[in-house]
Amino acid sequence: MAIQVSFGGQDRREKQSFAVGIDLGTTNSLVAYVGPDGQPHVISGPDGAMVPSVIAFDAAGQVESVGHPANSALLVHPERTIYSVKRMMGRSAAEIVHELGMLPFQVHTAQGSAAVRIEVAGQKLTPPELSAHVLRELKRRAEVFLGHAVEKAVVTVPAYFNDAQRQATKDAGRLAGLDVLRIVNEPTAAALAYGLDKKPEGRIVVYDLGGGTFDVSILRMHEGLTEVLATGGDTHLGGDDFDRLLVGVVAAQVAAVGISVQGDAEKLQRLRKACIDLKIALSDAEQATVQAELVAGQRIELSFARADFETLIAPLVEKTLEPCRRALRDAGLVAAELDEVLLVGGSTRIPLVRRRVQELFGKAPRGDIDPDQVVALGAAVQADIMTTGRRDMLLLDVTPLSLGMETVGDVVVKIINRNSAIPASATEEFTTSVDNQTGVVVHVLQGDRELVKDCRSLAKFVIPIEPLPAGLARVAVTFLIDANGILHVTAKDVRTGREKTIEVKPSYGLTDDEVVRMLEDAFDHAEEDLTYRMFLDAKGEADSILEATRRALAGPAGTRLDPEEREEIEGAIAGLNAAIRTQQADPVRKAQRRLNDATWRLAELSLAEALNTAVHDPQLAHVLAQAPDPAAVKPDHHGQRIK
Amino acid sequence: MAEQFDHPAADSPDAPRTLRPWVFNRETGQIDLDRQPRPGEAEPDHFAILGLPRRILLDADAIEIAHRSLIRGLHPDRFHARGPEAVAQAQWHSSRVNDAWRGLKTLEQRAAYVLTLTGENPEERFRPPAHLLTQVMEANEAIDEAGHDPAARVQLLELLADFQAQRAAVSDELADAAAAWDAAEAAGDASSSVARAQLRTVLGRARYIDNLIGRANAALATPDAAYPAN
């Protein structure tokens, strides 16, 4: 169809369904989107694409900065700066205390809530609330870059995350004002991005060693279907642990020259920063030296050999190999049957890691992917699959951990085995053992061990049962693990066929009510957000009008304008560009109206031009023969759009 | 809304109707997310969900293709644009497709599954035949000792080789029993036939030996190969 004079804003509906992909990492986070070219791109801010997952608070308890500035704040006021939040997501207080080790955060549990809170600058915040700040920063970056509001996202998590950790990640998204369309496993996302680009057929293994977590996944790619065969990992193992080991050794060295970092958060952070630099340098050099200023005015030189670093971290690297072997066994494969080895995560830059992985799988890893960006790119691809309805690609993932129920003798009976393709379900029937019993208690656990104490409690709930003689009532409970790896429970009375509602309280994490309350609390910021949102909407519209005007000016209609008309339009364009720089909606709208007025005749000429072309299109000629005279068609003044 | 679909049974009007995956609408031949059991119609079994004939001897590729094509059409990611209700329905249907696929992967699984369909519990304890009992006792002892006694390891390796040879023989028997059951099922006689009793016995033996082999292998594996705690 030849008629296309679009002077209006972009298609609203299209923008509303738009979704970005987010890699919410332990140390760094990224946001990516799929552009009109069908390719995923990472969105860069002025300070690069990677946003350190660090949040700095001011003394009053307000968020001061997120990302790079917060990373710098870590050296100035570490007590008010939070990092490695991902390690605390969906965990119990005891686990966090264990996890934090030498991290300086205070952990609290509140009465009547299963969620753990971290104390910072006089406030007690849950890990999802903290993570939401990072997500909000990424959302904002994407909005500034794309010029329109972003409300939907696909967020990645380590494949080995359990139900509570996934749920916590989803909650964080909600708190940041994002509708999380899907939680995707990081190695799977990496494979998806790789698959889009390279269209591999066959079996690949993704070894993903990030800042705080380790994952391994074995996948089969076939005609656009990315199917996970097995996954494994360790959610307590990553580059952070290498840093910690290095800090321990270097701290002893500096103690020898009379500088103690013990119990001094600021010195410790400076030392940690220096050690990270050292670690990075050792990936390229056999010997590295960095300068550090632990005490103001006193520069010291820290030197380390790669061989010593490798000896230090070797046991941790070895620890990643057993999950790899297990994943191979679970997939029913031997290493020789793998076609590709993909390395993901910054820690795979370490030569020892690459070497050990190559030895295990007997194959050199692919060198043509960016281990830092590929996960975010894959998340963007998944967002695109879900919002554009493209049918050439599909992801079929598995649940990393078995799901079970507590039974007599503190034993767990498995109902869905690990590495089952998801969505997956299992239905169990329950009956009563005592007359007039009104409920059955169900305790759901996740993990692959035999005993209740060795698995992770997900939830406990009571199935309501009508009071009947023992054994007469029958209730079928369906456990469904959705495509996000999150559990849903429904119950049905077998005799009557009636659905029963079950309230499942998570053992750790936020209830729905708590999330709603937090969202209400966030209303303080709502006005600020709304103003900004309005600006973004106005800017989006202005951008498309500017673009359309530019195109029309360059086309045949443009050449038919009077010089004064052209001058008027150019003045209005300059005015609109200036208004956009104010970052306020009102000036943009006003300037946009002026441009609209100035382009009235240009629009008319363009329309006539388009119709003229159409008349010479034989397919359209007979339609137009019955249409009114093109010259009589008055374009609508404000929304000059004919579709 | 019509779904583009490439299930082998979908575009073949000659295919017997029972071989269409359950989720298809009989009249339109398209995926029907609202599909519920009709009055008097039973809940579909794994075979019906995948649109496969109820047979123990099935081609592994046919199972893979049936699963892959169904999941391509039914995965909830495909239905996001149609709203939460369609996603929930797709979730339910696709979980059953995945469950069916997982439950029919191996011949042993299919044999056990058809027995449960006729109300049997194939998990019931199997009593080993007398000739196996002596070996089982020897094996149990060797399994206990293998961790610290090299002689027990050697003995266990010998027993393992023997078990594996027996398992191979049982595999042949199992294939025969499966073929007999399939024939009885095709003749509409599966639930009452001797084929069922035969299948149950051979399957019990196969599982018993599998269990022994698994335990022997675990005992022989090096300690560091034990699964790590979560």
Residues of B within 8 A of A480 (CB-CB) are: 91-92, 95
SS3 category, A152: strand
| pLDDT, greater one: B87 or B226 | B87
pLDDT tens-digit map of A288-298 = 998 888 887 78
Query: Any CB–CB contact under 8 A between A425 and chain B?
Result: yes
Residue A514 lies inside a defined structural domain of this protein:
no
Whole domain around residue A381: which residue ranges? 12-238+314-395
What count of CB pairs under 8 Å joins A to B?
76
Residues of A within 8 A of B227 (CB-CB) are: 326, 448
- How many helices and strands (H and E) does chain A possess? 18, 30
Q: Same structural domain for residues A607 and A458?
A: no
pLDDT tens-digit map of A352-382 = 999 999 999 999 998 788 999 999 999 999 9
Q: Same structural domain for residues A382 and A481?
A: no
Percent of chain B with pLDDT over 90: 35
Query: Any CB–CB contact under 8 A between A17 and chain B?
Result: yes
Report the distance separating Cα A416 and Cα A421, nearest Å.
10
pLDDT at A522 over 70: no
Q: Which of A363, A395, A427 is the last residue of a domain?
A: A395
Query: Any CB–CB contact under 8 A between B36 and chain A?
Result: no
Nearest Cα to Cα of residue A424 among B163, B78, B115, B93: B93
Residues of B within 8 A of A386 (CB-CB) are: 77, 80
Of A168-182, A313-327, A585-599, least confident by mean pLDDT is A585-599
Report the distance separating Cα A612 and Cα B219, nearest Å.
85
Measured over the CA atoms of residue A57, residue A63, residue A67 and residue A72, the dihedral's sign is negative
Residues of B within 8 A of A326 (CB-CB) are: 227
Q: Give the pLDDT score at A100.
A: 63
CB B69 within 8 A of CB B7: yes
Q: Same structural domain for residues A469 and A336?
A: no
Query: Any CB–CB contact under 8 A between B2 and chain A?
Result: no
Partners of B40 in the β-ladder: none
Which positions of A are catalytic? 23, 86, 186, 208
pLDDT tens-digit map of A81-139 = 999 899 889 888 877 777 666 566 778 877 667 778 888 888 889 999 999 999 999 99
User: Mean pLDDT across chain A, nearest whole number?
Assistant: 85
Residues of A within 8 A of B96 (CB-CB) are: 425
Report the distance separating Cα A33 and Cα A229, nearest Å.
27
One-letter-per-residue 3-state SS of A196-249 = HHHCCCEEEEEEEECCCCEEEEEEEEECCEEEEEEEEEECCCCHHHHHHHHHHH
Query: Any CB–CB contact under 8 A between B96 and chain A?
Result: yes
Query: Any CB–CB contact under 8 A between A13 and chain B?
Result: no
Q: Which of B105, B139, B172 is the last residue of a domain?
A: B105
pTM here is 0.80
Could A17 and B98 be called an inter-chain contact, meaning their C-beta atoms sit closer than 8 Å? no
Could A17 and B71 be called an inter-chain contact, meaning their C-beta atoms sit closer than 8 Å? no
SS3 category, A156: strand
B2 — pLDDT class (breaks 50, 70, 90): very low
Residues of A within 8 A of B71 (CB-CB) are: 225, 394, 396, 421
Residue A529 lies inside a defined structural domain of this protein:
no
Query: Any CB–CB contact under 8 A between A225 and chain B?
Result: yes
Which of A222, A381, A394 to mutate: most B Cβ within 10 Å?
A394
Q: Same structural domain for residues B86 and B152?
A: no
Q: Which of B41, B72, B105 is the last residue of a domain?
A: B105
Which of B43, B50, B80 to mutate: most A Cβ within 10 Å?
B80
Residue B159, token pair as written in the block: 């027993």
A40 Cβ partners below 8 Å, 6+ apart? Answer: A21, A32, A33, A34, A193, A196, A376, A377, A378, A380, A381, A384
Q: Give the pLDDT score at B124.
A: 64
Whole domain around residue B48: which residue ranges? 17-105
Question: How far does the CA of residue B130 sit from the closest CA of chain A (Å)?
Answer: 31
Number of domains in chain A: 4
Among A17, A401, A454, the residue with its CB nearest the CB of B229 is: A454
CB A280 within 8 A of CB A308: no
CB A212 within 8 A of CB A234: no
Residue A348, token pair as written in the block: 């795979």
Q: Same structural domain for residues A622 and A580?
A: yes
Scanning every residue of chain A, which has its alpha carbon at the shortest distance from the alpha carbon of B97? Answer: A424
pLDDT at B37 over 50: yes
Residue A144 lies inside a defined structural domain of this protein:
yes
Q: Give the pLDDT score at A287.
A: 92
SS3 category, A3: coil
Q: Same structural domain for residues A205 and A301?
A: no
Pairing verdict, β A202-209 and A340-344: parallel
Report the distance separating Cα B182 and Cα B119, nearest Å.
17
Q: Same structural domain for residues B154 and B79?
A: no
Q: What is the CATH number of the domain that holds B84?
A: 1.10.287.110
Q: Same structural domain for residues B92 and B136?
A: no
Q: Same structural domain for residues B83 and B150?
A: no
Q: What is the CATH number of the domain that holds A309?
A: 3.90.640.10
Q: Same structural domain for residues A429 and A467?
A: yes
Q: Same structural domain for residues A234 and A255?
A: no
Scanning every residue of chain A, which has its alpha carbon at the shortest distance from the alpha carbon of B230? Answer: A447
Could A425 and B4 be called an inter-chain contact, meaning their C-beta atoms sit closer than 8 Å? no
Could A455 and B92 be called an inter-chain contact, meaning their C-beta atoms sit closer than 8 Å? no
Partners of A328 in the β-ladder: none
Nearest Cα to Cα of residue A54 among A245, A189, A278, A240: A240
> For the purposes of burial, counting CB atoms within 10 Å of the CB of A377, is it exposed (0-12), middle (13-18) or buried (19 or more)?
buried
Among B80, B96, B102, the residue with its CB nearest the CB of A387 is: B80
Q: Which of A258, A284, A313 is the last residue of a domain?
A: A313
Q: Same structural domain for residues B32 and B67?
A: yes
Per DSSP, A447 falls in state S
Residue A179 lies inside a defined structural domain of this protein:
yes
The DSSP secondary structure of A296-338, one letter per residue, reads TTEEEEEEEEHHHHHHHHHHHHHHHHHHHHHHHHHHT--GGG-
Number of domains in chain B: 2
Scanning every residue of chain A, which has its alpha carbon at the shortest distance from the alpha carbon of B84? Answer: A181
Query: Any CB–CB contact under 8 A between A380 and chain B?
Result: no
Q: Same structural domain for residues B147 and B217?
A: yes
Q: Same structural domain for residues B174 and B208?
A: yes
Scanning every residue of chain B, which has its alpha carbon at the shortest distance from the alpha carbon of A426? Answer: B99
- The verdict on whether omega for the bond into residue A423 sits within 30 degrees of 0, i.e. cis, is yes
Q: What is the CATH number of the domain that holds A84?
A: 3.30.420.40
B176 — pLDDT class (breaks 50, 70, 90): very high
Q: Which of A491, A508, A525 is the last residue of a domain?
A: A508
Q: Which of B53, B71, B105 is the last residue of a domain?
A: B105
Report the distance separating Cα A115 and Cα A455, nearest Å.
19
Partners of A219 in the β-ladder: A204, A228
Could B92 and A480 be called an inter-chain contact, meaning their C-beta atoms sit closer than 8 Å? yes
Could A394 and B229 be called an inter-chain contact, meaning their C-beta atoms sit closer than 8 Å? no
Q: Where is B36: in which H helix or E strand? A: none
pLDDT at A13 over 70: no
Query: Any CB–CB contact under 8 A between B77 and chain A?
Result: yes
B205 Cβ partners below 8 Å, 6+ apart? Answer: B126, B128, B129, B170, B173
